[in-house]
């Protein structure tokens, strides 16, 4: 009886290891952040890079994209936040869309709009699990 129990435990253990090793790893997942703005002459933002470090970006154009391979082997939150915008026309609202892609698929997108002297805060966050 002990042999049958041990054998079934061994088979179960091997099956679990095999199924977990065949699941896709997100350590090398391709991460892409994208910001699109309307009526904005400038903006700034913050995102978490390949190593999970916060990176400030202050592009000179309305639209911006960065792509990299994830290097963090554990669960992490991907974050892209547009923190402020300068309007081209103070009478027209400024708009911004922050989007996160993982391996080419949109996993999170957030939109915000407002007028001069207002913070425009689209915040896209996604929990990437290895």
66/57 Cα distance (integer angstroms): 10
Q: What is the pLDDT of residue 93?
A: 92
Decide if 3 is inside a domain.
Answer: no
pLDDT at position 86 is: 85
CB 119 within 8 A of CB 72: no
| Consecutive 10-residue averages of pLDDT for the chain (130 residues) | 40 39 68 94 92 91 91 93 87 94 96 85 90
- Domain assignment present for residue 14? The answer is no
Does residue 17 lie in a domain region? no
Domain of 69? 24-128
Tally of domains in the chain = 1
Q: Phi and psi at residue 98, in whole multiples of 5°?
A: -110, 125
The number of C-alpha atoms within 13 Å of 93 and in the hemisphere containing its C-beta is 7
Indicate which CATH number applies to the domain containing 112. 2.60.60
110: in domain: yes
68: closest CA among 81, 49, 82, 53?
A: 49
- Per the domain annotation, does 67 fall within a domain? yes
- Structural domain contains residue 75: yes
Q: Across the strands, what pairs with 105?
A: 102
Q: What is the pTM of this model?
A: 0.77
Tell me if 19 is assigned to some domain: no
What is the structure's pLDDT at 16?
A: 40
Asked if residue 7 is part of any domain, the answer here is: no
């Amino acid at each position: 009886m002990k042999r049958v129990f041990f054998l079934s435990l061994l088979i179960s253990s091997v099956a679990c290891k095999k199924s977990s090793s065949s699941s896709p790893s997100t350590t090398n997942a391709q991460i892409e952040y994208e910001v699109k703005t309307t009526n904005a002459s400038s903006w700034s933002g913050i995102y978490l890079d390949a190593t999970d470090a916060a990176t400030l970006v202050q592009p000179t154009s309305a639209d911006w994209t960065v792509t990299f391979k994830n290097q963090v082997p554990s669960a992490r939150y991907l974050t892209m936040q547009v923190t402020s915008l300068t309007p081209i026309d103070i009478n027209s609202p400024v708009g911004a869309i922050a989007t996160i892609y993982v391996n080419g698929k949109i996993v999170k997108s957030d939109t915000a709009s407002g007028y001069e002297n207002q913070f425009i805060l689209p915040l896209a966050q996604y929990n990437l699990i290895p």
